[in-house]
Chain A
Amino acid sequence: MNTLVFLARHSLRRHAISTLVTALSAALAVGLTLAVFGLAVQTRAAFMGGAGGFDAVLGARGSQLQLVLNAVFQLETSPGNIPWSLYEAVKKDPRVAEAVPYAVGDNYYGFRILGTTLAVRDELRNSAGKPLELEEGGQWFNEENREAVVGSITARRCGLKVGGTFRPYHGLAFDPSMQHEEVYTVVGILKPTNTPIDRVIFIPLEGFYRIKGHVLRGSGKDYVPKENQPIPDEDKELSSVLLKLKSPEAGFTLDYTINRQGKVATLAWPIGRVMADLFNRLGWMNRILVLVAYLVMVVAACSILAALHNTMRERRREFAILRALGAKRRTVFASVVTEAACIAALGGLGGYLVYGLLFSLAAGVVRAQTGVVVDPFFFHPALIAVPIGMTVLGALAGVFPAYQAYSTDVAGNLEPHS
């Protein structure tokens, strides 16, 4: 084995440029494949486990997936609204531990504004499963005032600080012509939660209802909130309610009651299953990406084959010398296979760098678009299997050039002929 490594090392050093270029192609292939695997696993884990500590989402009749994407991941439009009475009923339901209401419909430079209660402070969890924390000097809003608590990404991107003010824009998409008149004061900035919460602004529910231009249809008729007059409960409405259930059995029975017997609302439960369905439906796309990555690895292996094959003619004398010194055919064969495997293994190591780079770029995009954090150092078996697979592929690619070396005519390639 020492001799094989010795021979491979010298040959790689002698053909350093070709070795580096070929190893680079293997590194790109390995990095790409690792990134595809890593992002798929991490994104799935982040989205399936990113419910912020809640078990279910209650919303208007429609798609469960749309409901979850809208309420939990702040990605989709709301499928519609539900009356306040439903929220009250669910909140009092003995199967429900906690209920947090959300009302959406405004934004600030594209970042969603969520009207909610202080229950959000007590019930929502960050990616580590811990309660939300505010940056130094901040506090939660007073439900009677026009105050706001801002997610970390929103604060950074919009330049919002404690004591600062802003005026919301109507709708979920930013339209400069749709700015409301009401001025909100930032009273707290959330520490990063590594969840979609980092991209929102929380304001009191009552304040949300009272923004001019908002029309409530909880009772079935249009109702515009009036100053200094309480809003009747029957006119209030919500986009969704996040629920913590007392037990899994509660989920089954609520699912039956709301989804099968009822006609007004939809219960998305459990949230992880709803997201898993999405990922399963999109699984074909991931499989295509993996297939492309595998193909790139095969192409990289072919480039190793080509690089070695191209040097075989000039190296015939070298192999003849080795044989004349006593090297057996199988030693020469194995030395070329080892050389190919070493190039691929170098690529495998370099692949970690490429993976780190690609993953960081992709993680930045995912974070910016969804608030979800994916961790490049999260272990998954592909991190070991792919570089090993590349090394094996490289060794296989070396078999043909190795056979050429194996077949070298010793006497015919030892100069001189006398």
Chain B
Amino acid sequence: MKILEIKDLKKTYPSPEGGPQTVVDISHFSLEKGEQMALAGESGSGKTTFLHLVSGVLKPDSGEISLDGSRMDLLPEAGRDSLRSNRLGYVFQNFNLLQGMTSLENVELAMRFGAGVDKERAVSLLRRMGLSERLHHYPRQLSMGQQQRVAVARALANRPKLVLADEPTAHLDHVRGREAVTLMREVCREFGAALLVVSHDREVLSHFKQVEPFERLNRVLRPRQGVKS
């Protein structure tokens, strides 16, 4: 059963010259429930824009996005917000933890916009990430690897059906990066969430059986300089 299905997806931005510039043009893409896949692509290829479209942060110009049976592209903004908070987890390249909140509060924050605060589950998620001793630490008191693990725990806070990860190891060394990807794959499997990772890091890609070159998926042939992606 498909957790994510995309058809004829297009996103266009105005170019610096004034005309339209297509950044994402994907005829078809799908992901099965619990499936784990990596999209390989260089910087500027439109991977982040693609993830923003999948998560509903951006609205496509045309095309269909079905997430767990719901048509994301047909929903108004508030509906996309709800769908995102309840069915999706998002691990950002810079982790995007809120600096004024502890690890536990960062995880609880995601719950507030989704299923509701469940402190026990938040604590158990952080423990699963090996952060039992770091529950009440602020991001600035954590290593990059620990911050990444908090971000993964936060992504899993609302029992998502799909976890999106954008260059999840960009700020980690090889060893930590490998550990992070392994852990992310493990926990997604444990919690029954599909995982879609976009990265240009071969080390990351080597962990996945299914690796799809993003340039092949995206019909826009070349990444464009100066394009917001």
Contacts and interface: CB of A to CB of B under 8 A. Distances in A.
B110 interface: yes
Contacts of B98: 10, 318, 321-322
B110 A416 contact: no
A323 B81 contact: yes
A417 B57 CA distance: 14
Interface in B152-174: 154, 158, 166-167, 170
Interface string B186-210: 0000000000001010000000000
A13 interface: yes
In this complex, which of A13, A323, A326 has the most chain B Cβ atoms within 10 angstroms of its Cβ?
A326
Contacts of A323: 57, 81
A339 to B, nearest CB: 12
Contact of B229 (A326, A415, A417): A417
B46 to A, nearest CB: 8
A177 interface: no
Interface residues of B, number: 41
Interface in B66-83: 77-78, 81-82
A120 B55 CA distance: 88
B112 A3 contact: yes
A65 interface: no
A415 B110 contact: no
A29 B200 CA distance: 57
B85 interface: yes
B113 A411 contact: no
29 contacts: A2-B112, A3-B113, A6-B112, A10-B100, A10-B105, A318-B98, A321-B98, A322-B113, A323-B57, A323-B81, A324-B57, A324-B84, A324-B92, A325-B90, A326-B82, A326-B85, A326-B110, A326-B114, A329-B77, A330-B78, A410-B57, A415-B92, A415-B96, A416-B166, A416-B167, A417-B48, A418-B43, A418-B93, A418-B167
Nearest to B102: A10
Given A415-B94, A416-B170, A325 B113 contact: yes
B167 A412 contact: no
A89 B66 CA distance: 104
Nearest to A11: B100
A414 B78 contact: no
Nearest to B44: A418
A13 B96 contact: no
A328 interface: yes
Interface residues on A, range: 20 to 34
Contacts of A416: 48, 93-94, 166-167, 170
B229 A418 contact: yes
A328 B112 CA distance: 11
Interface string B138-155: 000000000000000010
B45 interface: yes
A221 to B, nearest CB: 89
Contacts of A10: 98, 100-101, 105
Nearest to A318: B98
In this complex, which of B93, B113, B167, B170 has the most chain A Cβ atoms within 10 angstroms of its Cβ?
B113
A331 interface: yes
B57 A331 contact: no
B58 A411 contact: yes
B49 interface: yes
Contacts of A295: none
Contacts of A285: none
A327 interface: yes
A226 interface: no
A281 interface: no
Contacts of A328: 77-78, 81-82
Interface string A257-276: 00000000000000000000
A195 to B, nearest CB: 56
A43 to B, nearest CB: 47
Contacts of A329: 77-78, 81
A411 B93 contact: no
A13 B86 CA distance: 28
A6 B77 CA distance: 24
B185 interface: no
B110 A325 contact: yes
Contacts of B94: 415-416
B52 interface: yes
Contacts of A13: 100
B99 interface: yes
Contacts of B112: 2-3, 6
A287 B131 CA distance: 62
